[in-house]
Amino acid sequence: MMKLLILLVIVVGIIAVAQLAKVYRLSAELRGKRQEDISEADTKLQGTLWIVFMVLLFGTTIFQMVRYGYCMPPVASEHGVEYDMLMKFNLYLILFVYFLVNALLFIFANKYRYDKNRKAYFFPHDNRLELVWTIIPALVMAVIIIYGLRTWIDMTGEAKDDAIKVELYSKQFDWTARYPGNDGEFGVTDFNTITSTNPLGIVTNEGVDEAMAKIDEKIASLSKELEFERGHLLTEKANLEAQLNPTYHVHGHDHEDHSEDHDDVHGHDDHAEHGDEHGDNHFEGHNDGHGHDDHGHEMSSEHKAHIVQRIHEIEEMLNSGKTTILTDGAIEVKEDKIYRLQRHKQRLIELEPFNFENELSSWDAGKDDKIVKGEFHLPVDQEVDFVFRSRDVIHSAYMPHFRAQMNAVPGIPTRFKFTPTVTTDEMRAQTGDPEFDYILLCNKVCGAAHFNMAIKIIIDTPEDYEAWLSEQKEYLTEEEK
């Protein structure tokens, strides 16, 4: 509310000044003054205003620097100190140039304002001056770039061999941390194996079997829906009946009582077995003499029995109360779903295991992985090698106290390493805030609940960390025990 009022006052103030200027100009015109006639008092006023503006600009800059300071939370990682130094080095350099250039700009505008007794000095070119304002900025830029690159390479370089491995898996809208377990290797992952019980898509024999079973289940249920589609069943039945007895379609169409039809069917069987002529005659009598010859002659009794059985089946299905009625569109969608599920299954079949250097199978490595949500722990003074993954869109893991941020990109694992230097308890003491917690925030606007996408980081002493980690459940091995 207060802010709104201040804004309103500023806007009204600007309008008032503009109106005053208009009045002044109109009155000057009335006094017969031409617009390009500028009095010495005017020039002097403008010159003074430049200085006033400079003081205001520098004043607000300095005020904000004092009031808001460095704008970063306390640092808690090894490279964070380096990062802050680089940041401050650049900041002070920029501030120095900012004050110098702006001071010259405003002071010169005042000092060299129009004076009718002074003639401008003609100064077309000077090689020394050109050299000075080319070489000095070039050198400063080189220092900034080289210093920045060195820090960047240091921060983003390879982790040490004994670094702790942690995977951060992101999806809309939460983070999951994974530790590799006792074997020190993360189990391989594949999005094809993602199920409700395996949200990270860790590939294990059990996981693949489970995923396949779930796909089979889905295919079966979709197929059932299609199989019990009323329209299809009726069409199929009508076709089969037409095959058995071309007359049936015409005469038996309205019969609800099927026992009669069955007799009919058996009668035809006999005819087909015993003789052509009889059968022919029989058919002809009913059928206006066309279209039946193919069926009647060549159909074996076995085939007929098959058809009869299928008709029975269809009748049972129709009477089961399980039939569905689907539009052509709905049928197409379901068929497409089945197709895609079959493709999905094929991709699972094609997954190939491989062995790590220590002969550990990639499909076994995942069994002892530890998966945690809500918060994850790290030991102090130990390098951590992070891998970031995403299931859906680009997220970004931002850990402000550790001066770390890395995008989590679907399909492209990214990494970052750092060494925490202050435990959560120490930081609570340092900040005087007993509630303090380190946090990892999503720093890419990734969807509706982006603001809520965070996970707590706890920095422990090495002993506390080991104790915590040993309490975490292994992905599969412990469940089997």
Query: What residues make contact with Cu ion under the rule CB under 5 A?
Result: 395, 442, 446, 453
Q: Which is nearer to Cu ion, 308 or 399 (CB)?
A: 399
Q: Which is nearer to Cu ion, 48 or 452 (CB)?
A: 452
Q: What is the CA radius of gyration of the chain?
A: 41
Residue 264 has which token pair? 């009919």
The minimum distance between CB 167 and Cu ion, in angstroms, equals 16
For the beta carbon of residue 216, count every other beta carbon within 10 angstroms: 12
Cβ proximity of 396 and 410 under 8 Å: no
DSSP string, 163-180: PEEEEEEEETTEEEEEE-
The minimum distance between CB 347 and Cu ion, in angstroms, equals 27
The minimum distance between CB 26 and Cu ion, in angstroms, equals 58
Q: Tokens 């790290």 belong to which residue?
A: 378
Look at residues 197, 165, 169, 180 and name the one whose alpha carbon lies nearest to residue 362.
180
Environment class of 390 (CB within 10 Å of its CB; exposed 0-12, middle 13-18, buried 19+): buried
Q: Which is nearer to Cu ion, 175 or 228 (CB)?
A: 175
The minimum distance between CB 391 and Cu ion, in angstroms, equals 11
Q: From residue 428, give the alpha-carbon distance in Å to each of 150, 353, 438, 458, 459.
A: 32, 46, 10, 11, 11
Instruction: Tell whether omega for the bond before 173 is within 30 degrees of 0, i.e. cis.
Output: yes
Q: Which is nearer to Cu ion, 422 or 442 (CB)?
A: 442
Helix and strand numbers (H, E) in the chain are: 16, 10
Query: Quick one: DSSP state of residue 229?
Result: B
The minimum distance between CB 450 and Cu ion, in angstroms, equals 5
Query: Quick one: DSSP state of residue 394?
Result: -
Give CA–CA dist 15/343, Å, rounded.
68
The minimum distance between CB 201 and Cu ion, in angstroms, equals 18
Q: Which is nearer to Cu ion, 360 or 394 (CB)?
A: 394
Give CA–CA dist 335/226, Å, rounded.
8
Q: Which is nearer to Cu ion, 334 or 395 (CB)?
A: 395
The minimum distance between CB 394 and Cu ion, in angstroms, equals 8
Q: Which is nearer to Cu ion, 395 or 417 (CB)?
A: 395
Q: Which is nearer to Cu ion, 279 or 400 (CB)?
A: 400
The minimum distance between CB 453 and Cu ion, in angstroms, equals 4
Q: Which is nearer to Cu ion, 208 or 440 (CB)?
A: 440
Residue 476 has which token pair? 């599969």
Give CA–CA dist 189/191, Å, rounded.
7
The minimum distance between CB 408 and Cu ion, in angstroms, equals 8
Adjacent-strand bridge partners of 355: 361
Buried b (16+ CB within 10 A) or exposed e, 11-25: eeeeeeeeeeeeeee
The minimum distance between CB 191 and Cu ion, in angstroms, equals 18
Q: Which is nearer to Cu ion, 51 or 454 (CB)?
A: 454
Dihedral sign (CA 184, 187, 188, 194): negative
**What phi, psi does 212 have (nearest 5°)?**
-65, -45
